Amino acid sequence: MDDSRETHGPKAFVTGFPVKHSRSPLIHGYWLKTLDLPGSYQAHEVAPEGFADFIVSLRSGSAGFVGGNITIPHKEMAFKLADQPDELSEELGASNTLWLKDGKILATNTDGRGFTANLDERRPGWDRHDRVVVLGAGGASRAVIQAVRDRGFKEIHVVNRTVERAQELADRFGPKVHAHPTAALAEVITGAGLFINTTSLGMDGEAAPTIDFSPMLSDAVVTDIVYVPLKTSILAQAEEQGFAIVDGLGMLLHQAVPGFEKWFGRRPVVDETLRALIIADM
């Protein structure tokens, strides 16, 4: 990117601790370049003890940023310290996207929108059934549960090794969400139209359980929010068993869209070149 484009125009950041593995600079840098917009997007590492000060400098304008993305471990603090978190963040208790408006920090969480936009793009009709199984009850599963509930799924079954964590999410997200121990998977998968892995099971080096997807509806979709490798062993098993699969890379790309639009004023497109760029960097 040429210097003039970087030194002029709005500046945005991604902050986390550590932040060097974040792919967000690659994504936003690609969009700035292809849309030929002035501005810059940079990784900005902030340790937990410095995060509150960083937010103060963001609000006052002294940091020089118009907004940015928040990643692990700062999403909860970002939500708490923002002046106007939206309803999505309120329910999740976490924000991943901030922007300044009239001296106030506004906040949202775009992970759920990234999840649904990825499926809309790659498997239209993915939301036609009532029953969904969500494997895992960690931080990453929250936005996914909120998204499928808001999309209209009527029965959301959260299956987790530690059933208490699944129960916490059922309590948080309302009566459509049900908690189950892993042993109940075979039962709850019956008749499901969507299966979502939100755990690290099946990532490189992680042992993945063998799952029999056959009791799902024949046109069910299986998706994973992990994207390294692109085809996790859970997705590979589902494909072998004849089910449609969607990998998690598009969720990463689509969750970045609303922030870019806020900071730089144009709605960017998730295209195959961007996908290829990220895959080449993996």
15 is in an annotated binding site: no
Binding of residue 60 to ligand ATR (CB under 6 A): no
Per the listing, tokens 């129960």 go with 167
166 is in an annotated binding site: no
Q: Which of 7, 57, 162, 273 binds ligand ATR (CB under 6 A)?
A: 162
Listed ranges 56-64, 79-87, 158-166, 250-258: which one lies at the site for ligand ATR (CB under 6 A): 158-166
Shortest Cβ 209–ligand ATR spacing (Å):
8
Binding of residue 145 to ligand ATR (CB under 6 A): no
Binding of residue 170 to ligand ATR (CB under 6 A): no
Listed ranges 3-11, 159-167, 188-196, 212-220: which one lies at the site for ligand ATR (CB under 6 A): 159-167
Q: Which of 208, 198, 141, 206 is nearest to 168 (CA)?
A: 141
Per the listing, tokens 């209209």 go with 152
Q: Which of 163, 222, 164, 167 is nearest to 189 (CA)?
A: 222
150 is in an annotated binding site: no
Binding of residue 138 to ligand ATR (CB under 6 A): yes
Residue type, 223: T
- Residues 184-203: x where in contact with ligand ATR by CB under 6 A, - otherwise, as a string: --------------xxxx--
- For residue 101, indicate whether it is catalytic: no
Per the listing, tokens 């998977």 go with 185
Q: Is residue 278 classed as helix, strand or coil in its secondary structure? A: helix
136 is in an annotated binding site: yes
Contact of 112 with 88, CB cutoff 8 Å: yes
Listed ranges 5-13, 41-49, 111-119, 160-168: which one lies at the site for ligand ATR (CB under 6 A): 160-168
Chain position whose Cβ is nearest to ligand ATR? 138
65-95 exposure pattern, b = at least 16 Cβ within 10 A, e = fewer: bbbbbbbeebbebbbebbeebeebbebbebb
162 is in an annotated binding site: yes
Counted residue by residue, the chain has a size of 282
Shortest Cβ 61–ligand ATR spacing (Å):
32
Shortest Cβ 183–ligand ATR spacing (Å):
12
Cα distance between residue 265 and residue 282, in whole Å: 29
245 is in an annotated binding site: no
Binding of residue 93 to ligand ATR (CB under 6 A): no
Binding of residue 160 to ligand ATR (CB under 6 A): yes
First-to-last alpha carbon distance for the chain, in angstroms, is: 21
Binding of residue 179 to ligand ATR (CB under 6 A): no
DSSP 144-175: HHHHHHHHT-SEEEEEESSHHHHHHHHHHH-T
In order of 2, 11, 108, 152, 223, the CA distances from 259 in angstroms are: 23, 12, 9, 25, 24
Bind-site residues: 22-24, 71, 87, 96, 111, 136-140, 160-165, 225, 227, 248, 255
Query: Which residues are part of the catalytic machinery?
Result: 75
The site for ligand ATR (CB under 6 A) is made up of: 136-141, 160-162, 165, 198-201
